[in-house]
Structure 1
Amino acid sequence: MVFVSEAYTTVPATFSTPLQEKVYQVLQELTMDFQRVETEEVITMEDCQQINERLEMDMVKTLFLCNRQKTNFYLFVTCGDKPFKSKEFSQALDIARVSFASAEQMDTMLGTKIGAATIFSTLLPEAAKVQLILDKDVCDQEYYGCSDGTTTGYLKLKTEDVLRKFLPYVKRQPRVIEV
């Protein structure tokens, strides 16, 4: 059982990473309502179940992928309960098979560690080469639950705000696929 705090609607008193601080600055700047929880370290989707219950929503699964040559990178956001099938993902994008990017690449390009991949990494200039891919099912959800860039902080946002406020702010047009 993972510790999950009560839900807060205020920014954390302290920040663990530069990305986490940037996330909350941007949420305030864009006047995006949020609820957040603090947790013990959470890595797996199974660990997220208690977060889902506390925030009354379903966490998304955010995967950092690359091609074999490690020249093309993808941040794929899908439903937390959906199994990832590399073949279906690759077919939807009409690309060669992909694999998971390394922990080092994740740190360098996304400013996060394993378990903390988040759409908010698009705030970082290092993520400019990363293609943002959204599962259509995620776009159809009322709420968007994700990491705040750490493995100990999780957010509940309105999906509409993510799509209509945040993505235009970072000047990113995601590719939406059905898998």
Structure 2
Amino acid sequence: MTPAEKVTTYLDNLGIKYKIVEHPAAYTTEQADEYIKGMEGVRTKSMFLTNKKKRNFYLVIMDDDKRLDMSEFGEIVDNKRIKMASEESLKEKMDLSAGVVSIFGLLNNTEKDIEVFIQKKISSEEWMTFHPNDNTKTLFIKTEDMYKFIKSVGFEYQIIDL
């Protein structure tokens, strides 16, 4: 089963409806956005972060037009030295590679040791977009179903002002 099939099978089993657009591999949000122009849905940026000692891990979901202020986020999580997690940590914690990070990587985190944060500005939009653990596809999911998915895989989330 491919990573995307694992995601869609899981969503199907939850009764969550979604739309998928297939496209050439996209390694940045800008590239992915080109393939879904004119379609309704927040273009999300998913960032996998850690602290200096690599003991705390964070998944931040935000509007892809927004730039994350690491210092501000560090204050929110009460951890001053926040940085992008390494490719090794991403592979170990979410079984993903760079350019494919999304909420669906939580399916692969058996330790349940990632804290999930969602930007307040996008938290009540109707549709969100993510790679389904495959950067040749963009998956559109209703925001309420995104929350349902996160809870179903055993995670809590916090909505924060960024």
Q: Please identify runs of 4+ aligned residues in structure 1 that moved more than 3 A.
A: none
TM-score by length of 2: 0.92
- Measured in 2, the distance between the counterparts of 1:172 and 1:69 equals 22
Distance 2:146 2:111 in 1: 17
Q: CA deviation at 1:141?
A: 1.2
Residue in structure 2 matching 1:170, options 150, 153, 157: 153
Residue in structure 2 matching 1:104, options 88, 109, 114: 88
Gaps of 5+ in 2: none
Q: Counterparts in 2 of 1:109-120, with a 5 A limit?
A: 109-120=93-104
2:63 aligned to which of 79, 100, 121: 79
Q: CA deviation at 1:171?
A: 2.2
1:178 alignment partner AA: D
Q: Distance in 2 between matches of 1:97 and 1:52?
A: 35
Equivalent residue pairs, number: 162
Question: Partner amino acid for 2:7?
Answer: V
Query: CA offset at residue 23 of structure 1?
Result: 0.6
The alpha-carbon deviation at position 106 of structure 1 amounts to 0.9
Q: Which runs of 5+ in 1 are unaligned?
A: 1-14
Measure the CA separation in 2 of the matches of 1:71 and 1:113.
19
Q: Which amino acid aligns with 1:161?
A: D
For 2:60 and 2:41, the matched residues in 1 are separated by 19
Percent of residue pairs bearing the same amino acid type: 28
- Say if 1:36 and 1:155, in contact at 8 Å, map to a contact too: yes
Whole-angstrom distance in 2 between the partners of 1:25 and 1:176: 27
Please report the RMSD computed on the Cα atoms of aligned residues, expressed in angstroms.
1.6
Residue 54 of structure 1 and its aligned partner are, at CA, apart by 5.3
